[in-house]
């Protein structure tokens, strides 16, 4: 079962009589843990007020494209980027037609063009309009494009007809929306993710660490679990709640992380090293708190093992993915890391600038492997993690297919 906890749902409401159910739908989505922003078409406001949907969602409703005030707050592009998923409920026959045409003449249609988030529509209309070949063709073409079609249900209609075209009930729509995040791209695969910083003790109260928050690693572990994987998360010290449906193993130092990884590596098909592992640790840990007696002191450090490289070097290594946080020459540094560590894929991001990276809620990534590069544009880490898991799953399955073919040829 998918989950809506912490998911950002953009709900589009178009102009049909079933729009009165949208208020209940917002409530159900929020009860399931989602943050909801509502976009209404002009026609929708004939059936339900903006004020009602503002009250139940807790946010002002978005109505107009290129409204200077709204654009100054959250522009249509930011809104499209904000959404983890878009649900249009109810979706009228007219809206389905406009979606098929790729129109950009109102806010909702433009958002649907400007997003890469998963999308679903819940059609609601008179049964004859639903059965019309024009509507059926539109629905087919949306389905073909990957848009999920929720319903419609059958039964008595507001116009007195009986047949297909009723909006599904809000509780069912909320459940189906949660299912949008259940992609199945990693069904049956066991994934290990390392996350957060490590802490290299100097004495009982001091240590060497870094600014990694663990957010990216935790988001990737969550996205892998949503993809159907069994996930083991080896986490350095962070202040995040362990994700649902993920086996989380807390560790402190790089050596602890190395041991925890190798104790379980035989079970792993796919390894994603997101942790910011300290390169060095103090040669020895003082048993008592060090006193400030001298004017200066030297701390002797020794190299930590490279966990990612050690996993990639195993005779039956899993598919290995590493991260590279760089301040410049992103692609060159990533290519160097790909070869130096003999891994399958490097996810590189710029750090030290104004956006993304350590601690931030957003990030952008350059994915580098032996076939080329792919850019994942700036997005919330949760959304970026989902796109990354999609990319990794394609590469992972492609490599397994090639290896299976080679094995078959050798036989």
Residue numbers of the site for ligand C5P (CB under 6 A)? 194, 254, 273, 275, 277, 279, 304, 306-308, 322-324, 337
The distance of closest approach from Cβ of residue 329 to ligand C5P in the complex, given in angstroms and rounded to an integer, is 13
Measured from the CB atom, is 217 or 227 closer to ligand C5P?
A: 217
The distance of closest approach from Cβ of residue 358 to ligand C5P in the complex, given in angstroms and rounded to an integer, is 13
CB 90 within 8 A of CB 126: no
The distance of closest approach from Cβ of residue 195 to ligand C5P in the complex, given in angstroms and rounded to an integer, is 9
E-strand ranges in 109-185 read 119-123, 148-149, 153-156, 162-166
Return the number of other C-beta atoms located less than 10 Å from residue 328's C-beta. 9
Taking the C-alpha atoms of residue 148 and residue 137, their distance in angstroms, rounded to an integer, is 15
Measured from the CB atom, is 19 or 312 closer to ligand C5P?
A: 312
CB 93 within 8 A of CB 16: no
Taking the C-alpha atoms of residue 203 and residue 227, their distance in angstroms, rounded to an integer, is 42
The distance of closest approach from Cβ of residue 176 to ligand C5P in the complex, given in angstroms and rounded to an integer, is 36
Which DSSP symbol is given to 265?
A: G
Is-catalytic flag, 159? yes
Measured from the CB atom, is 32 or 221 closer to ligand C5P?
A: 221
- Single out the catalytic residue among 5, 134, 159, 378: 159
The distance of closest approach from Cβ of residue 249 to ligand C5P in the complex, given in angstroms and rounded to an integer, is 15
Tell the burial category of 388 from Cβ atoms under 10 Å away from its Cβ (0-12, 13-18, 19+).
Answer: buried
Q: Which residues contact 205 (CB under 8 A, 6 or more apart)?
A: 289
- With b for 16 or more beta-carbon neighbours within 10 A and e for fewer, the 118-148 pattern comes to bbbbbbbbbbebbeeeebeebbeebeeeebb
Tell the burial category of 103 from Cβ atoms under 10 Å away from its Cβ (0-12, 13-18, 19+).
Answer: middle
Which DSSP symbol is given to 328?
A: S
Measured from the CB atom, is 114 or 333 closer to ligand C5P?
A: 333
The distance of closest approach from Cβ of residue 330 to ligand C5P in the complex, given in angstroms and rounded to an integer, is 12
Measured from the CB atom, is 40 or 234 closer to ligand C5P?
A: 234
CB 266 within 8 A of CB 287: no
Active site residues: 159
């Amino acid at each position: 079962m998918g989950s809506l906890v912490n998911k950002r749902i953009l709900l589009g409401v178009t102009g049909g009589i079933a729009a009165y159910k949208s208020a209940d739908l917002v409530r159900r989505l929020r009860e399931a843990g989602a943050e909801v922003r509502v976009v209404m078409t002009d026609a929708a406001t004939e059936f339900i007020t903006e004020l009602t949907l503002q009250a139940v969602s807790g946010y002002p409703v978005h109505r107009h494209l290129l409204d200077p005030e709204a654009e100054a707050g959250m522009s249509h592009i930011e809104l499209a980027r904000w959404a983890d998923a878009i649900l249009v409920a109810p979706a009228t026959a007219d809206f389905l037609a406009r979606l098929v045409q790729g129109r950009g003449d109102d806010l909702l249609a433009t958002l649907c063009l400007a997003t890469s988030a998963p999308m679903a529509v819940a059609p609601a209309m008179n049964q004859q309009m639903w059965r019309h070949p024009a509507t059926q063709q539109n629905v087919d073409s949306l389905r073909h494009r990957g848009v999920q079609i929720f319903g419609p249900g059958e039964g008595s209609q507001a116009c007195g007809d009986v047949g297909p075209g009723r909006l599904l009930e809000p509780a069912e729509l909320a459940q189906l929306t949660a299912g949008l995040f259940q992609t199945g791209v990693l069904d049956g695969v066991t994934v290990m993710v390392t996350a957060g910083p490590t802490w290299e003790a100097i004495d009982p109260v001091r240590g060497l660490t870094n600014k990694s928050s663990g957010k990216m690693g935790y988001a990737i572990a969550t996205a892998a679990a949503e993809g159907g994987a069994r996930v083991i998360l080896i986490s350095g010290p962070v202040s995040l709640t362990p994700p649902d449906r993920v086996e989380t193993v807390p560790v402190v130092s790089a050596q602890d992380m190395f041991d925890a990884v190798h104790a379980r590596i035989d079970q792993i098909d796919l390894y994603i090293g997101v942790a910011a592992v300290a390169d060095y640790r103090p040669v020895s840990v003082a048993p008592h708190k060090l006193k400030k007696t001298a004017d200066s002191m030297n701390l002797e450090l020794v190299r930590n093992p490279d966990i990612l490289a050690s996993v990639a070097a195993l005779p039956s290594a899993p598919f290995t993915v590493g991260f590279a946080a760089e301040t410049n020459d992103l692609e060159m540094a990533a290519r160097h890391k790909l070869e130096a560590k003999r891994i399958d894929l490097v996810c590189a991001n710029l750090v030290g600038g104004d956006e993304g990276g350590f601690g931030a809620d957003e990030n952008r990534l350059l994915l580098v492997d032996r076939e080329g590069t792919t850019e994942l544009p700036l997005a919330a880490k949760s959304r970026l993690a989902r796109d990354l898991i999609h990319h990794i799953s394609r590469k992972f399955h492609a490599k397994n297919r090639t290896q299976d073919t080679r094995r078959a040829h050798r036989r």
